[in-house]
Structure 1
């Protein structure tokens, strides 16, 4: 089994506490609300929402990804960090065992934040079709887009 590790930073023009709350604590209700054209539902299917809980995200029909299951690994509200693992999805199922994402939301002087994310891909066997550039190009851009949607939501709804 191989391991691919990527580090990304995503600038967001919203206070870190709001982004952390949206992305780590209220993702089940917020994502379907702000991305209805992509996400059909997001729900805890096992656990109480804390570490060890399993979340299932169901995407609308016609998307490359129809569902994903995540396991919440850790959450630290005081330090604005959270980590979860993608443990099941209908893409790369024969090539990737799991992906662990660690997030830290760091304030910027302008009042926004930077999400520092470390992604660790645990590759099954030799799975030569998976490479760092492919992952970073596709999934780094999708995550950046997600944070831009969250940013736009809070800029349009500052009291949310």
Structure 2
């Protein structure tokens, strides 16, 4: 079974400015700092934020303990970043694919749309686990990013 979940929001900064946050590791560091009840720690296992970068995300007790994700696409022209789970979490529950995509879409020179999407594929025998997929953490990250960008507008 294949599925997607997506959310978007308008941010009152240029797409270029938003991508300076979304297209780098700064977004991960900001989420780690501003969402301590949701993300305990983010470790950079390998890389500098470009394709091939591997992060280990550790979550508070009582939730999915941790997982590793790998940046599979960082397209600075189209302003798209994708990461796929490579270890732990959803992969332990019958998912064969769990991909997160961040996009920054230019609306005009002073405003853009940020969109977060989760794409997943789950084995037929584990299809009930598809209900585990939630975009809540990505939405919280987008709100933190929007507040940061608006406050630090150039």
TM-score by length of 2: 0.78
Q: Deviations over 1:12-51 (max 9, x none)?
A: 3243233333233123432222223332322221234321
Q: Deviations over 1:92-150 (max 9, x none)?
A: 6222123123332112248232234443212134312034xx46xx6233322221121
- State the alpha-carbon separation in 2 of the partners of residues 157 and 22 from structure 1: 11
Q: How does 1:25-104 map to 2 (within 5 A)?
A: 25=24, 26-59=26-59, 61-91=60-90, 93-104=92-103
Give the corresponding residue for 1:158: 153
1:76 Cα deviation (Å)?
A: 1.3
Gaps of 5+ in 1: none
Instruction: Please tell me whether the aligned partners of residues 34 and 149 of structure 1 are also in contact (alpha carbons under 8 angstroms).
Output: yes
Backbone CA RMSD of aligned residues? 2.6
When structure 1 is superposed on structure 2, of 41-50 and 68-77 the one drifting more is 41-50
1:63 Cα deviation (Å)?
A: 4.6
Instruction: Quickly say closer, same or farther: Cα 1:141–1:29, change in 2 above 3 A.
Output: closer
- Does 1:146 pair with 2:141? yes
Gaps of 5+ in 2: none
Equivalent residues, number: 152
